[in-house]
């Protein structure tokens, strides 16, 4: 059978510099949101990375794309590709760091223990996102059909551009919108796991 020829991706030098810088900025903002600012300890601190995370990771994303280390995904924007690269990078670094971290022998709640808990929570969040990253809207809606408020949320994500617009439409606060978002991703990840377990039986 003949292999379908995919359109070649644009060479980095063929992409306007403004577009690349915009993708780096948006992905840097995504890092800021994920890390809730700039962490002072742990694998994403400036000490660990040599630069602030929101500066470091977009540069890494650019290099992986420009050198061809990252396999280009057809149909996705440069910004989306950069975020995906960074998510994968952060997830791997976090897992390695957690693997090397020794638990507090005394079992007392120290700064390190709090940082460890936060790192584990972020690792789980990133892994969950990795699992659902290629999920289309239709399947997500199918899996959420028993939870109408989450179905509404997904439809609004597709239709609207920002949290403020969603919050206005639903007449809830932005904090509540973000809570809906977290619930949606958890529900989708759980439904996906359930589906895979059924396949294995």
Partner 1 sequence: MNLLDKISVLEANSVTIREFEKATGMTRDEYLKEMRRFVEEQWTKEPAADLKK
Neighbours of 183 (CB within 10 A): 15
List the structure tokens of 175.
């904090």
64 binds partner 1 (CB under 8 A): no
Piece in contact with partner 1 (CB under 8 A), picked from 10-18, 90-98, 100-108, 109-117: 10-18
d(CA 141, CA 73): 23
68 binds partner 1 (CB under 8 A): no
* Spatial contact of 126 and 120, defined as CB atoms under 8 Å apart: no
13 binds partner 1 (CB under 8 A): yes
How many Å separate Cα 117 from the centre of its chain?
19
Q: Applying CB under 8 A, which of residues 40, 77, 173, 195 lies at the interface with partner 1?
A: 77
d(CA 119, CA 33): 14
38 binds partner 1 (CB under 8 A): yes
User: How many residues of this chain bind partner 1 (CB under 8 A)?
Assistant: 53
Q: Which residue has the tokens 């995370």?
A: 53
Piece in contact with partner 1 (CB under 8 A), picked from 30-38, 90-98, 99-107, 112-120: 30-38
Q: Identify residues 174-193 at the interface with partner 1 (CB under 8 A).
A: 174, 181, 185, 188
Q: Identify residues 89-128 at the interface with partner 1 (CB under 8 A).
A: none
Distances from the Cα of 48 to the Cα of 21, 40, 89, 93, 148, angstroms: 24, 9, 14, 11, 43
Distances from the Cα of 78 to the Cα of 11, 89, 187, angstroms: 12, 16, 28
24 binds partner 1 (CB under 8 A): yes
Q: Applying CB under 8 A, which of residues 27, 93, 94, 126 lies at the interface with partner 1?
A: 27
Q: Is 68 left (phi over 0), alpha (psi -120 to 50) or beta?
A: left
136 binds partner 1 (CB under 8 A): yes
Name which of 80 and 112 has its Cβ closer to partner 1.
Answer: 80
157 binds partner 1 (CB under 8 A): yes
List the structure tokens of 83.
């975020």
Residues that bind partner 1 (CB under 8 A): 12-13, 17, 20-21, 24-35, 37-38, 52-55, 58-59, 62-63, 66, 76-77, 79-80, 83-84, 87, 129, 132-137, 140, 154, 157-158, 161-163, 174, 181, 185, 188
């Amino acid at each position: 059978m003949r292999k379908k020829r995919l359109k070649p991706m644009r060479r980095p030098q063929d992409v306007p510099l403004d577009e690349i810088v915009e993708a780096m900025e948006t992905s840097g903002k995504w890092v800021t949101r994920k890390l809730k600012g700039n962490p002072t300890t742990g694998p994403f601190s400036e000490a660990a990375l040599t630069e602030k995370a929101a500066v470091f990771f977009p540069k890494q994303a650019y290099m992986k794309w420009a050198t061809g280390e990252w396999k280009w995904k057809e149909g996705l924007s440069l910004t989306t590709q950069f975020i995906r690269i960074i998510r994968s990078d952060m997830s791997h670094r976090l897992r390695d760091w957690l693997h090397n971290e020794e638990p507090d022998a005394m079992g007392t709640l120290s700064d390190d223990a709090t940082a460890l808990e936060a790192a584990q929570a972020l690792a789980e969040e990133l892994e969950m996102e990795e699992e659902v990253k290629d999920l289309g809207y239709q399947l997500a809606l199918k899996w959420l059909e028993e939870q109408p408020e989450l179905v509404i949320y997904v439809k609004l994500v597709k239709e609207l551009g920002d949290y403020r617009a969603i919050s206005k439409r639903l007449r809830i606060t932005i904090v509540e919108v973000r809570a809906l978002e977290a619930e949606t991703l958890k529900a989708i990840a759980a439904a996906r796991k359930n589906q895979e377990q059924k396949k294995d039986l």
